[in-house]
Amino acid sequence: MVHNILTDYDEKNVFVLINDNTKTLLPKLHGAGINHTMMSESSFLQGNESMPEDGFNIVIWMMDLGLHQEPEELKNEIHRLLKTIDERVEVVMMYYGICGKAFNDIEGWSEENMKTPVTIFKDSEGRICDDCICVPLGGTDTYLKLLKKHTGVFYLTPAMACSFNQFRDSMEIFRGMPEDDTDMFKMILDMAGYKQALTIQTGLGDQKNFFAEAKKSADDLGLELIHLEEGWASTEVADRTYSEAKGFLS
């Protein structure tokens, strides 16, 4: 999201809805020098906020990562929230993949239930990306190549490594486990055949702490840390989807 805003040189206004989920976003906006305005979530949803008419407006609404623990709950909650902003904005760009089949038909659902168009991360073939690993790899085909090349591997992007506890708790393999039960984490990974943790360098996110946090996560899980070769990751999917979303603006 920060990358998309930085590489879009059109005049724009950036607003961030205030809630408990913005703590990982705000340092990135500040670090990138992106001017933004904090806005009351409830006030925006109630239609009490006016928007500037110069340029276009981006409203960032961060969701709870914990919703990923239950794909059906994630789907239902996002469907509900999408309806609350229907016709309040010109287009919604969802920074999600399929996420456990939660959004495998999100565009069909939105066409039937909303007047506002909805876009989501898709590869060059128009297939919705599986998850947050598929997105920086450019889509499904490259993802499958990676799975064949590196089996028994735990993937770590900058976002995952630098918010590891949140991501770990959202993973189905660890669902319902106490946060401090490191031995159980290690045992489950060992039973599942994981031996290594692989950093996927996207060039985005918290670069300052990425490798240090990846090393700590790998050590905590008893995994050998290895690094993906250059040339795998790209911003192609994010760039294409952002351009698609902007195409809906009047």
Question: Please, what are the averages of pLDDT over each run of 10 residues along the chain (250 residues)?
Answer: 95 95 91 95 91 91 80 91 94 93 93 97 94 93 94 90 75 62 77 90 92 93 93 96 94
Give helix then strand counts, H and E, for the chain: 11, 8
Q: Give the DSSP per-residue string, 94-150.
A: E----TTTTTTTHHHHHHHH-SS-EEE-B-TTSPBP-STTTTTTTSHHHHHHHHHHS
Report whether 173 contacts 188 (CB < 8 A).
Answer: yes
Report whether 92 contacts 51 (CB < 8 A).
Answer: no
Phi, psi dihedral angles at 41 (to 5 degrees): -60, -50
How far is residue 65's CA from residue 23's CA, in Å, rounded to a whole number?
12
Whole-number pLDDT of residue 175: 60
Phi, psi dihedral angles at 134 (to 5 degrees): -60, -40
Picking from 245, 161, 241, 236, the residue whose alpha carbon sits closest to that of residue 206 is 161
Residue 68: strand, helix, or coil: helix
Angle formed at CA 144 by CA 238 and CA 123, multiple of 5 degrees: 25
How far is residue 163's CA from residue 98's CA, in Å, rounded to a whole number?
20
Beta strand pairing call for 224-227 and 196-199: parallel
Whole-number pLDDT of residue 180: 63
> pTM higher than 0.75 for the full model?
yes
CB atoms within 10 A of CB 112: 8
Amino acid at 217: S
Report whether 74 contacts 67 (CB < 8 A).
Answer: yes
Looking up tokens 């994010």, which residue turns up? 238
